[in-house]
Amino acid sequence: ANVAFGVDELHRYATGEGITVAVIDSGVSPNVRLPGLIGGGDYIGTTNGLQDCDHHGTLVAGIIAATPSESDGFVGVAPDATVRSIRQTSSAFEPVDKGPDAPDGGASTLATLARSIVHAANSDVDVINLSVTACYPTDEFVDTSDVAAALRYAVDVKDIVVITAAGNSDSESCSSNPGFDPANGGDPRNWDGVTHVSMPSFYSPLALSVGGTTLNGQAYTGTMAGPWVSVAAPAVDIVSLDPTKGDIGGLTNATVGKDGPRPITGTSFASAYVAGLEALIREKYPDLSATEVVDRIRNTAHTPGSGDRNLIGDGVVDPIAALTWSTADIRHAIAPPSRVVTPESATAPETLVRNIVILVVVGMCVTGLVVSVAHRTLREEHHDQAD
């Protein structure tokens, strides 16, 4: 995935120096290749965000900001950036065999998501990455006003770029939505066909929603399709820091589940790639607003055919173009969405309504230890396509 994203080439222009990225996720384990890692808070336990029981947030942070090593060819997109870890979700803290009437036992909710966004926004960060999502059917009422207000506060008041994973269509709650309906040409993103909502992607473009691609730039079919998807980035052949080998900075390209080792895939990691790119853009163009930074990503993306719009939005991210093109060179105009969701308030929510929608880390469901792989194997597998 690093090769597909052109990470090494990006470092000719910026490395993320002076930029702080908040990773709101399952926590990030300390790692020698994350020297700028700082604890930012914990809405699950008492670790200040520096514990990752799920082996997910560490993978995300590694893609964003891992430093290089002489023993392998991996490096994060913004290796000189600071990562502020905020633990907001963890499957390890969810109740076992929870009944329908049981109270919430520590798993993350939309309320803690909103709180974590506001907390990050007040913590002197430049970029917020949300590789978590909540999915629910459209016929179920869910109060998302606090998330909307938190996002607007972060973007419009604090001028922070917010990136989120579109979600994966690998569960009943995160069912994919249909694409373009030729019978309804006046609704090109098919809002009328939406059956399931992905949160916080629903509030795109406040949160830039990132779908996935394969290594050859095709739409990753595991993306939870929806009219809110903004752009797409690599979601397969993922390599990142091994959360269990932080003392030596080891790498991994697989996890162990109930069916054995499986490759790391998902839109969580596509989001991480774009978050790292946003950090580079903020370093190189410090006078750009959060909205202008997002516009560079969308305006330079490679436009898809209409059939893929709900999987990859405005197109596949072109990292070099987004980082280097002058404003005059950016001629691709973003097609306006057929509907725009506008939160009413840009004030940080003070009283947050508790919701029972449980958030999930959307890159994968980690049920076992991460599998370490040899450095030679890693370099070879960069050239293979995984789905």
* Structural domain includes residue 51: yes
* Structural domain includes residue 341: no
* Structural domain includes residue 259: yes
The single residue of 268, 295, 308, 318 carrying the catalytic annotation is 268
Query: Is there a single domain that holds both residue 68 and residue 192?
Result: yes
The single residue of 25, 54, 295, 308 carrying the catalytic annotation is 25
Query: Is there a single domain that holds both residue 8 and residue 88?
Result: yes
Query: Is there a single domain that holds both residue 167 and residue 267?
Result: yes
Q: Which structural domain, as residue segments, surrounds residue 33?
A: 2-334
* Structural domain includes residue 38: yes
Total structural domains within the chain: 2
Q: For the chain, give the secondary structure using H, E and C.
A: CHHHHCHHHHCCCCCCCCCEEEEEECCCCCCCCCCCEEEEEECCCCCCCCCCCCCCHHHHHHHHHCCCCCCCCCCCCCCCCEEEEEECCCHHHCCCCCCCCCCCCCCCCHHHHHHHHHHHHCCCCCEEEECEEEEEECCCCCCCHHHHHHHHHHHHHCCCEEEEECCECCCCCCCCCCCCCHHHCCCCCCHHHCCEEEECHHHCCCCEEEEEECCCCCECCCECCCCCCCEEEECCCCCEECCCCCCCCCEEEEEEECCEEEECCCHHHHHHHHHHHHHHHHHHCCCCCHHHHHHHHHHCCECCCHHHHHHHCCCECCHHHHHHCCHHHCCCCCCCCCCCCCCCCCCCCCCCCCCCCCCEECCCCCCCCEEECCHHHHHHHCCCCCC
* Structural domain includes residue 340: no
The single residue of 26, 52, 55, 56 carrying the catalytic annotation is 56
Query: Is there a single domain that holds both residue 296 and residue 352?
Result: no
* Structural domain includes residue 117: yes
Query: Is there a single domain that holds both residue 361 and residue 261?
Result: no
Query: Is there a single domain that holds both residue 161 and residue 32?
Result: yes
Domain boundary among 291, 310, 334: 334
Active site residue 55: no
Active site residue 25: yes
Predicted TM-score (pTM) of the model is 0.84
Q: What is the pLDDT of residues 92-137, one digit of tens each?
A: 665 545 444 443 434 568 999 999 999 999 999 999 999 988 888 9
pLDDT score recorded for residue 337: 45
CATH of the domain at 181: 3.40.50.200
Q: What is the pLDDT of residues 125-146, one digit of tens each?
A: 999 999 988 888 998 888 999 9
* Structural domain includes residue 357: yes
pLDDT score recorded for residue 108: 66
Active site residue 383: no
pLDDT score recorded for residue 343: 52
Query: Is there a single domain that holds both residue 325 and residue 362?
Result: no
Query: Is there a single domain that holds both residue 29 and residue 157?
Result: yes
Q: Spell out, as residue ranges, where the chain has pLDDT lower than 50.
A: 96, 98-106, 331-340, 342, 349-358, 363-387
pLDDT score recorded for residue 328: 53
* Structural domain includes residue 57: yes
